[in-house]
C-alpha cells in the first residue's frame, strides 16, 4: 500500500481507507470537500498538511515511522488533535458501547449471568479510560503546551510521566482486545447475537482509536517533547 502524500485527493484516500473518516472529523474537516488535494484542504482549513499526512499514515500503516520532527506549532496542533480524539471517545464512543451493552444486559442477563462479568469488565475499562483522559487534559497536555510556547516548563515532570502513561494506555487497548476475545470466543449460553455483534464492533472501534492515539503519542508527541526538553535545557 502506497503512503499517503499531500498531493493526493482526500476523497480518493478516504474511499480507499474509509477508517480515516473519524480522523478527518477530528481535524475539523467537514464533508463535501470535493476533488481537492490534502494540501489544498489543509490550506483552506488552516491545518498543517505534513502533520496531517503523518497521522493519516500512522492510522493506515501499522509499521509506518513518520519522518517528521514536530515544530512548536505542530506540537500544539497534535495536542489539539489528541484532545479532540479524547473528547470523541468520551462523548461518543464510550456511550456507544454502553448503549449496546445495556441493551444486551436488559434482554439476556436473566438467561446468562456471564454477561454480568462482561459488563463489570467494561466498567473497569471505562473508569481507567476516563481517568487517563482526565490526566491527559489536566496534566499532560498543559505541560506539553507550556513547553511548546517556551514558557519555563514543568517539562521534567511531563517527561518522567511518559513511560507510566504509555504502559497504562497499552494495557487499556489490550484489555479491550481481551474483552472482545472473551465475548467472541468464550461466552457460552444464551445471549442476543445481534446485540453481541453490536457490542463487539463498538469495542473494536474504541480499541482501534485508543491504539491509534497511542501510536500518535509514541511516534510524534513523545519524540518532540524529548527533543524540545533537550533544546530547552541546553539554552539554560
- Minimum Å gap between C-beta 217 and other proteins is 20
Point out which span in 4-12, 94-102, 179-187, 210-218 binds other proteins (CB under 8 A).
179-187
117, 151, 156, 227: residue in contact with other proteins (rule CB under 8 A): 117
With vertex at residue 82, the alpha carbon angle to CA 77 and CA 83, rounded to the nearest 5 degrees, is 95
The C-alpha cell at 1 is 500500500
17, 107, 187, 204: residue in contact with other proteins (rule CB under 8 A): 187
Angle 94-108/114-135 helices, nearest 10 degrees?
A: 160
* Minimum CB distance to other proteins smaller for 119 or for 162: 119
139 binds other proteins (CB under 8 A): no
Residue 77: which of 45, 124, 125, 123 has the closest Cα? 45
182, 208, 218, 229: residue in contact with other proteins (rule CB under 8 A): 182
- Minimum Å gap between C-beta 128 and other proteins is 9
Point out which span in 11-19, 92-100, 115-123, 154-162 binds other proteins (CB under 8 A).
115-123
174, 194, 227, 230: residue in contact with other proteins (rule CB under 8 A): 174
Judging by beta carbons within 10 Å of its beta carbon (0-12, 13-18, 19+), is residue 130 exposed, middle or buried? middle
Number of residues that bind other proteins (CB under 8 A): 19
Distance CA 43, CA 139 (A): 31
- Minimum Å gap between C-beta 32 and other proteins is 42
Return the DSSP state at 30: P
Residue 118: which of 176, 58, 171, 51 has the closest Cα? 176
Distance CA 233, CA 11 (A): 44
Distance CA 231, CA 10 (A): 36
Point out which span in 15-23, 73-81, 154-162, 173-181 binds other proteins (CB under 8 A).
173-181
* Minimum CB distance to other proteins smaller for 30 or for 185: 185
60, 88, 114, 133: residue in contact with other proteins (rule CB under 8 A): 114
179, 195, 202, 224: residue in contact with other proteins (rule CB under 8 A): 179
35, 185, 235, 236: residue in contact with other proteins (rule CB under 8 A): 185
Distance CA 103, CA 214 (A): 30
121 binds other proteins (CB under 8 A): yes
Q: Which residues bind other proteins (CB under 8 A)?
A: 114, 116-118, 120-121, 124, 171, 174-175, 177-179, 181-182, 185-188
Amino acid at each position: 500500500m502506497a503512503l499517503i502524500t499531500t498531493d493526493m485527493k482526500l476523497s480518493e484516500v478516504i474511499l480507499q481507507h474509509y477508517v480515516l473518516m473519524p480522523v478527518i472529523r477530528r481535524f475539523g474537516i467537514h464533508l463535501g470537500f470535493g476533488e481537492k488535494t490534502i494540501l489544498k484542504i489543509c490550506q483552506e482549513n488552516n491545518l498543517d498538511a505534513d502533520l496531517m499526512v503523518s497521522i493519516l499514515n500512522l492510522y493506515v500503516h501499522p509499521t509506518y515511522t513518520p519522518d517528521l520532527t514536530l515544530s512548536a506549532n505542530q506540537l500544539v496542533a497534535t495536542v489539539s488533535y489528541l484532545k479532540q480524539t479524547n473528547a470523541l471517545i468520551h462523548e461518543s464512543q464510550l456511550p456507544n458501547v454502553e448503549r449496546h451493552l445495556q441493551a444486551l444486559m436488559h434482554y439476556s442477563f436473566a438467561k446468562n449471568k456471564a454477561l454480568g462479568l462482561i459488563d463489570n469488565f467494561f466498567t473497569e475499562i471505562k473508569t481507567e479510560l476516563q481517568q487517563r483522559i482526565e490526566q491527559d487534559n489536566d496534566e499532560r497536555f498543559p505541560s506539553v503546551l507550556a513547553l511548546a510556547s517556551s514558557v519555563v516548563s514543568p517539562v521534567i515532570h511531563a517527561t518522567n510521566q511518559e513511560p507510566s502513561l504509555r504502559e497504562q494506555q497499552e494495557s487499556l487497548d489490550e484489555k479491550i482486545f481481551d474483552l472482545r476475545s472473551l465475548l467472541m470466543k468464550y461466552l457460552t449460553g444464551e445471549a442476543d447475537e445481534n446485540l453481541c455483534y453490536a457490542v463487539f464492533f463498538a469495542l473494536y472501534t474504541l480499541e482501534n482509536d485508543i491504539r491509534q492515539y497511542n501510536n500518535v503519542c509514541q511516534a510524534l508527541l513523545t519524540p518532540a517533547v524529548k527533543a524540545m526538553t533537550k533544546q530547552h535545557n541546553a539554552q539554560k
